[in-house]
A and B are shown apart, each in its own frame.
Chain A
Amino acid sequence: MKVVLDRRLCSGHARCMEMGPDVYGSDDLGYCVLKHAEVPPALEAQARLGAANCPEGALSIEAVAAPAAVSPAKP
């Protein structure tokens, strides 16, 4: 999974980083910074929640083509 950030729309609400602190961070001015080029599977829920809570609609979720064929092993 990949998050796409539209920097023209981000106005620094910081809802993404509250709802998905491991996926989204803040620059010095308070605008969104993505922490991962590709979102690790364990953080996908955070990524979705953060994107859905953006009042500007500045974040969208894209599936990454041909993901590595490794499913997380279940203990």
Chain B
Amino acid sequence: MTTTTSFDTGLAAAPPHVPAELVRDFDYRNEPLFLIDPHRAFVEGMADAPDIFWSPRYGGHWVLKRYEDIREAAREYENFQHFPASLPALVGRPRPMLPIEVEPPLHQRYRFALAPLFAPPTIKALEPQIRAMAEGLIDGFAGDGGTEFVASYCAQLPVRMFLRLIGVPEEQTNWLRDLHGRMFAGDTVEIKQAAGLEVNAWLEATLAEKRRAPDDKVLSALIRAEPEGGPFDEQELIDLGFQLFTAGLDTVTNSLSMTWRYLAEHPEKQAEIRGDPAIVPGAVDELLRYSAIVTMTRRLTQDLDFRGLQLRKGEAVLLPTLMANQDPDVFPDGADVDFTRKVNNHLTFGAGAHRCLGSHLARAEMIITMQAWFERIGPFRIAEDAALVSHGGPIQGLVSLPLRWEGAR
């Protein structure tokens, strides 16, 4: 087969240990509804699927739907390992990214070195910087009566903040976004492989620069770190940098686009925020729950009896966090968006040892963006002539989001 991974249309035959009634074709990258609305693609696409089912896509894989099942698979690393972290496995990246693709106890060597750099107190101290950047970006287009929000904001603020954190000039923003796009969504295997090599070369050059001129940013901190077992070697630093690159360049970008799309389509929800800006943190978490963008993959480390089913060593299991957040046992009214929800223990940032390291940064960026936005921009909507295009995959989101509003507030 010579097709590229993203457009793989081959269907695997179900192995004998998979009960026939659990076979259900679901393409988590390319179901047609993903092009229109990832939320609907999951909720409608899986509405009548069994709680655990097997899809013949990408060589065949399991899909979990329930909160408890997804949480257990996310944190029981002895049975469900993370490497390789995507389905199909990422082209051009044969080595584990650190720390996400190694498991405890080795995982702790890397995670504990990174954790203080992204812990709540560290992020709290960054809030004034995030606010200044958010206000500057929004002021740049607030008077225009509209903007293509993905390009003008979603792909700017999180990437620029990320580059600032690791100590890379913000001028590299658009080039790195392009490189990230080629690595994850390039049209051919060759493009993806070439992009992988380019990321490696960029990291080598950046690390060399940090050795020559150390700063107080994340990459220098990792070079200086003295974890148990001794300092990180060059290969470990590249594998750590690779993970930061993959996580930093499109997660908040996509979350912002999904959140603002929802708000643009629901003027009454905008009005709630305008009427009581104090609900912003709750609104952000509720839309993180409702529009969760991450579908994690785990691989079985051994044969496992799971909820009465036989899972076999090496099989892939998809964990769509959006579906966990719709589980009626945990969120009886999960189909409703409620900005005043008191209990919102959603799994958008995963669970267990691999819980999204950047979750506190992501929340801060989204909360500050929402505050700065509503201070500056009145009722907004999706441009009347716009054809929205979204995408599925491990990270779901929007390709573009043209918004309109009546002048500046």
**Which chain A residues have a beta carbon within 8 Å of chain B's beta carbons?**
11-15, 17-18, 26, 28-30, 49, 52-57
Q: Which of B75, B115, B116, B345 contacts A15 (CB 8 A)?
A: B345
Q: How far is the CB of A8 from chain B (nearest CB, A)?
A: 10
Q: Decide if B308 is an interface residue (CB 8 Å cutoff).
A: no
User: Given the complex, which residues of A lie within 8 Å of B352, measured CB to CB?
Assistant: 11, 56
Dominant SS at the B interface?
A: helix
User: Given the complex, which residues of A lie within 8 Å of B353, measured CB to CB?
Assistant: 11
Whole-angstrom CA separation of A42 from B345 in the bound complex: 24
User: Given the complex, which residues of A lie within 8 Å of B346, measured CB to CB?
Assistant: 55
Q: Decide if B120 is an interface residue (CB 8 Å cutoff).
A: yes
Interface residues in B305-350 by Cβ distance below 8 A to A read 342-347, 349
**Which chain B residues have a beta carbon within 8 Å of chain A's beta carbons?**
71, 75, 112, 115-116, 118-121, 281, 342-347, 349, 351-353, 355, 359-360
Q: How far is the CB of A42 from chain B (nearest CB, A)?
A: 19
Closest partner residue, chain B, to A56 (CB atom): B351
Q: Are B355 and A13 in contact (CB under 8 A)?
A: yes
Q: Which of A26, A55, A57 contacts B121 (CB 8 A)?
A: A26
B75, B345, B352 — most chain A CB neighbours (10 Å): B345
Q: How far is the CB of B349 from chain A (nearest CB, A)?
A: 7
Whole-angstrom CA separation of A53 from B331 in the bound complex: 12
23 A-B pairs whose Cβ atoms sit less than 8 Å apart in the complex: A11-B352, A12-B119, A13-B355, A13-B359, A15-B344, A26-B120, A28-B115, A28-B116, A28-B121, A29-B115, A29-B116, A29-B119, A30-B119, A49-B342, A52-B343, A52-B345, A53-B344, A54-B345, A55-B71, A55-B346, A55-B347, A56-B351, A57-B345
Q: Are A11 and B355 in contact (CB under 8 A)?
A: yes
Q: How far is the CB of B283 from chain A (nearest CB, A)?
A: 14
Q: Are A53 and B119 in contact (CB under 8 A)?
A: no
User: Given the complex, which residues of A lie within 8 Å of B345, measured CB to CB?
Assistant: 15, 52-55, 57
Q: Are B347 and A17 in contact (CB under 8 A)?
A: no
User: Given the complex, which residues of B lie within 8 Å of A29, measured CB to CB?
Assistant: 112, 115-116, 119
Q: How far is the CB of B226 from chain A (nearest CB, A)?
A: 15
User: Given the complex, which residues of B lie within 8 Å of A17, measured CB to CB?
Assistant: 120
Whole-angstrom CA separation of A30 from B119 in the bound complex: 5
Q: Which of A12, A30, A52 contacts B342 (CB 8 A)?
A: A52
Closest partner residue, chain B, to A12 (CB atom): B355
Contacts A11-B352, A30-B119 known; 11 new A-B pairs at CB < 8 A: A11-B355, A14-B360, A18-B281, A26-B119, A26-B120, A29-B112, A30-B116, A49-B342, A52-B343, A53-B343, A55-B346
Closest partner residue, chain B, to A26 (CB atom): B120
Q: How far is the CB of B78 from chain A (nearest CB, A)?
A: 13
Closest partner residue, chain B, to A53 (CB atom): B345
Whole-angstrom CA separation of A56 from B119 in the bound complex: 17
Closest partner residue, chain A, to B347 (CB atom): A55
Q: How far is the CB of B61 from chain A (nearest CB, A)?
A: 24
Whole-angstrom CA separation of A26 from B124 in the bound complex: 12
Q: Are B118 and A13 in contact (CB under 8 A)?
A: no
User: Given the complex, which residues of B lie within 8 Å of A15, measured CB to CB?
Assistant: 344-345
Q: Are B351 and A55 in contact (CB under 8 A)?
A: yes
A12, A14, A28 — most chain B CB neighbours (10 Å): A12
User: Given the complex, which residues of B lie within 8 Å of A49, measured CB to CB?
Assistant: 342-343
Q: How far is the CB of A49 from chain B (nearest CB, A)?
A: 7
User: Given the complex, which residues of A lie within 8 Å of B75, measured CB to CB?
Assistant: 11, 56
